[in-house]
Structures are given as structure tokens and as C-alpha cells.
Amino acid sequence: MAAPEQKRLFISDLVSLATIELRLRGRQRDEVLNELVARIPEIADRSEARQTLLRALQEREQLHSTGIGDGVALPHARNALVGLVERPVIVFGRHDQGIAYGAIDAQPAKLFFLLVTTTVTQHLQILARISRLVRDPKLRQNLTTADKPEKVLALIREAEARM
């Protein structure tokens, strides 16, 4: 008997207009993480949940930076955080100047994909998918200049269609 086919997770299905912030203002990593966490609708009015996620993100960053280079950071907790969200959520954020983020290439992070999932399997699948997407220099450039959240979503959909 064949194993049930696993539903492919698309980044464009996990990012929404509500989870896109094109004007991050923080000057340091923790300030930016706080701004990104604030964009998650499911926990926007749950202070304790926001603090739990923020602590988990900070702990992960202390282990090793999630700045992957080329101006991109993929903040995520080390493990799936059960109970915070009902389904995977990605918050896309952009910082015009960029901030020091400890990336391997020492470049400031300008594009952020905050990931919150409900299972380890989803977590790993989605991280891998985002990593593949942002390898495309044209997509990174276009995300840097997109003027509206709708444009960000369209760019991600187009890039996923080419994958």
C-alpha cells in the first residue's frame, strides 16, 4: 500500500497581506524580531504567546544566526511551538537599510521570513522551500523594491511556479 501523498506546502499560501511588513524600523535584531512577531494575527492580542515566541526566537539566534547571507534572514524557533498557531505562518518583513544579523557573509539582513509551524516536519519542509526560493537573486532584488504587500505575494507565487 502506498503512503498517503503529503500535501505540498507553498510559501505563498502561508504568507498573507496581514503578515507582510515592508517598513521594519528596528535598529537591532531583537527589535526587528518583535516587529515581525507582532504581525502574526493569531497571537497579536495574546501577550504571553508573543513573549513565548520571542524568547524561542532569541534562544535560536543565540545558538547560531538565522541570517543566511545575501541580505536574507530566516528567523525561526529551534523546534515547532505547539499551541501558538493552528497552522504554519510566515511573516515577511523588509528593512530598507538592513541590520547586522550575524550572517555568514557579514551582510546586513534586509529581507526576513519569520517562520512559525506546528510540527517539526512542516518546519523543515518550509525552511527548505524558503531557502530554495531566496537563492534566486532576481527574486531577492524584486522583494527589495516591491512597493505593496500584494506585489510581494505575486513575486513569491511567480518564483514558486518556476521551482
Please report the pLDDT score of residue 83 as a whole number: 78
Q: Write the CA distances from 129 to 66, 112, 124, 137, integer angstroms.
A: 15, 14, 9, 15
pTM: 0.93
Convert the pLDDT of each residue in 14-57 to its tens digit: 999 999 999 999 999 999 999 999 999 999 889 999 999 999 99
84 pLDDT band, cuts 50/70/90, is confident
Q: Which residues are catalytic?
A: 76
Please check the confidence at residue 2 and state whether its pLDDT lies above 50. Answer: no
pLDDT digits over 105-157, tens only? 999 999 999 999 988 888 999 999 999 999 999 999 999 999 999 999 999 99
pLDDT band at 9 (very low <50, low <70, confident <90, very high): confident
Task: Count CB atoms within 10 A of the CB of residue 97.
Answer: 9
CATH classification of 11-162 is 3.40.50.2000, yes or no? Answer: no
Helix (H, G, I), strand (E, B) or coil at 64: coil
